[in-house]
Amino acid sequence: MNLRITLPSLALLAVASAALAQDLGWKAPPQANPIALINASIHPVSADPIPSGYIFFDQGVIKQVGPMSDGPVFIGTTQIIDAAGLHIYPGLIGPVTDMGLLEMQATRPSTDLSENNDPNSEIYAATAINPDSWLFPVARSGGILLAGSWPTGGDIPGHASLLRMDGWTSDDMTISRDMGLIINWPNMRPFRSPFITTTEEEQIANTRRAVQRIDAVFAAAESYRAARAQDPTFPTDLRYEGVVGCLPSSAVANPSPSTDPDVAAARAAQTPVLLRAEDIDQIAAAVTWAVSRNLNPIIVGGRDAPLCAELLRQHDVPIIISGVFRFPKRSDSPYDDAYTLPARCEAAGLRWCLATGGESMNERNLGHAAGMSVAFGLDQDAALRGITLSTAEILRVADTYGSLDSGKSATIIITNGTPLEITTTVVMAFIEGRQIDLTNKQTELDLKYRERYRQMGLIDEQP
């Protein structure tokens, strides 16, 4: 028989289980029964919205999406959830965070962002993830169901990993152990400031040495790969093993994009290099270097990306914009320089997605960052895509995540409005069909102090 539940009753169940929430809470079990969400406004992202529609999913996979006018019939043990008046979106994706690697910055044992050596190309963020971090439930309450976790420090900090935001262990949470190899590209232009003690000549020399160090790692990795191919008994070096996946195969014969399917497939199989670069000269130098080595670059930061639009389009280099809540880059920049960056990238025909660019305790504000870009000229559909499907495409997981399509993961949020608005609340969430607890420290404190005011006779509402 069907189990028919309304969202208000589920909200009461969530309150009753609040004691199990937070970092010590139980993780969501696998989806036990088929689930149908009905009578909701569906926002697939990959297609036009459906004003009154349904989503049916089973075993963590979306099976059907369509309008209620199609007259869907759900049989057997299907759990039917009436979401009338609510909205359904794919889970939001935060591409650049330190989620799971940092709890309290002032407490060294809870910080695992960087290693002492450099380069650290053998490091993968997924290895160090703390699955019980109480930052995960806070982010989930903002609709963030997937996040990239990034190590930091040095020229080559290691590999970023893509996580699902719930799981018993780091392995349970890991979607992609290797999102890409991070490279902190050096500043190409010397700075003048009373706080900088090095001369311009010294800064230029330091930049040159940093670029040489980065290039030397890739040159050595190429030699290492050739040696291993010639002699399988050649000793394994994990540092170079971490770089080999970024190197081009023999099928990638030229640095420019090709329409040859074999070349395109070979390039798509290359692990990306995640180039942190903001300034025009940084971006130009980083992309030129990556293209010269036939690498697969993604620019992270990208404040001057519109100024490099021709170069980025020519080589199909996507941008992960590091947030909009930032001050203007230069003293003569417009006051809304950061707010308009997504709109300017969109107008320039660049492939881009949006990160918060802030600390992980504020990752829940990703949708609000996209909303700010709408207020400053970006189309609302493009903004939503920039935190869902475009992110999934750039991170190479769009075959599974980022939109509400049949055959994709049932990683879904149900809201009372658009996630781009600060007043919107995420009412329910599923990660691969598993219903996720949305309580966190803030919701616990809200309940606690509402109870105080009830006891004082200041409010009449019931828990």
Is the sign of the CA dihedral 291, 208, 122, 181 positive or negative?
negative
In a domain, 417, yes or no: no
Q: Are residues 99 and 109 in the same domain?
A: yes
415 found inside a domain: no
Q: What share of the chain is helix, strand, coil (3-state, %, to 5)?
A: 35, 20, 45
Q: In this structure, which long-range contacts are made by residues 261-268, counting pairs with CB atoms below 8 Å and at least 24 apart in sequence? A: 267/296, 268/296, 268/396
- Both 223 and 292 in one domain: the answer is yes
For 358-372, write each residue's pLDDT tens digit: 777 789 999 999 999
- Given a contact cutoff of 8 angstroms between Cβ atoms, the answer to whether 408 and 46 are in contact is no
Q: What is the CA radius of gyration of the chain?
A: 24
Residues 385 and 450 in one domain: no
Structure tokens at 463: 């828990």
37 and 179, same structural domain?
no
Confidence of residue 256 (pLDDT cuts 50, 70, 90): low
- Classify residue 418: in a domain, yes or no: no
Same domain, 85 and 98: no
The answer to whether residue 78 is domain-embedded is yes
Non-local (6+) Cβ contacts of 35 within 8 A are 56, 57, 58, 78, 79, 80, 81, 410, 430, 433
- Tens digits of residue pLDDT in 406-452: 999 999 999 999 999 999 999 999 999 999 999 888 888 889 999 99
Nearest to 7 by CA among 125, 87, 101, 72: 87
* Count of residues making up the chain: 463
pLDDT over 70 percentage in the chain = 89
CA distance 258 to 208: 31
pLDDT band for position 197 (50/70/90)? confident
Evaluate if residue 22 carries a pLDDT over 80. no
Would you say residue 461 lies in a domain?
Answer: no
CA angle 409, 71, 398 (to 5 degrees): 20
Could you tell me if 86 and 414 are in contact, meaning their C-beta atoms sit under 8 angstroms apart?
yes
Q: How many domains does the chain have?
A: 2
Domain of residue 358, residue span: 93-400
How far apart are alpha carbons 383 and 372 in whole angstroms? 9
Looking only at the bridges linking them, the beta strands covering 144-149 and 158-164 are antiparallel
Q: Are 205 and 198 in contact (CB under 8 A)?
A: no
Where residue 107 falls among pLDDT bands split at 50, 70, 90?
Answer: low
Domain end, chosen from 364, 383, 400, is at 400
353 lies in some domain? yes
pLDDT in the model for residue 200? 86
The verdict on 72 and 98 lying in the same domain is: no
Q: Report angle CA 402, 320, 166 to the nearest 5 degrees.
A: 45
Question: Which residue from 357, 433, 356, 365 is spatially nearest to 164, judged by alpha carbons?
Answer: 433
Give the helix/strand (H/E) hosting 184. Answer: strand 174-184
- Quick one: 30 and 123 in the same domain? no
Residue 134's pLDDT band (boundaries 50, 70, 90)?
Answer: confident
Taking alpha carbons only, the member of 317, 404, 304, 373 closest to residue 90 is 404
Q: Which residues contact 331 (CB under 8 A, 6 or more apart)?
A: none
Are 140 and 113 in contact by the 8 Å Cβ rule? The answer is no
Residue with tokens 């043990």: 77
- Comparing C-alpha atoms, which of 437, 435, 439 is closest to residue 57? 435
Distance, in Å, from the CA atom of 402 to the CA atom of 46, rounded to the nearest integer, reads 9
* Same domain, residue pair 280 and 323: yes
- CATH assignment at residue 25: 2.30.40.10
Give this prediction's pTM: 0.90
pLDDT at 253 over 80: no
Query: How far apart, in whole angstroms, are the C-alpha atoms of residue 221 and residue 242?
Result: 9
445 and 378 in a single domain? The answer is no
Residue 375 lies in a domain: yes
pLDDT at residue 287, rounded to an integer: 98
Peptide bond into 44 cis (omega under 30): no
Q: Assign 254 a pLDDT band (cuts: 50, 70, 90).
A: low
pLDDT at 108: 63
* Those residues with Cβ within 8 angstroms of residue 222's Cβ, 6 or more apart along the chain or in another chain: 247
Assigned domain for 413 exists: no
Residues 451 and 371 in one domain: no
3-state secondary structure of 311: helix
pLDDT at 275 over 60: yes
Considering the domain architecture, whether residues 196 and 268 belong to the same structural domain is answered as: yes
What are the tens digits of pLDDT across the range 299-334? 999 999 999 999 999 999 999 999 999 999 888 889
Q: What is the CATH number of the domain that holds 293?
A: 3.20.20.140
Collect all residues with Cβ–Cβ distance below 8 Å to 108 and sequence separation of at least 6: none
Question: Within this chain, do residues 70 and 134 fall inside the same structural domain, yes or no?
Answer: no
Residue 415 neighbours by CB distance under 10 Å: 23
Q: Look at residue 195 in the predicted model and tell me its pLDDT.
A: 77
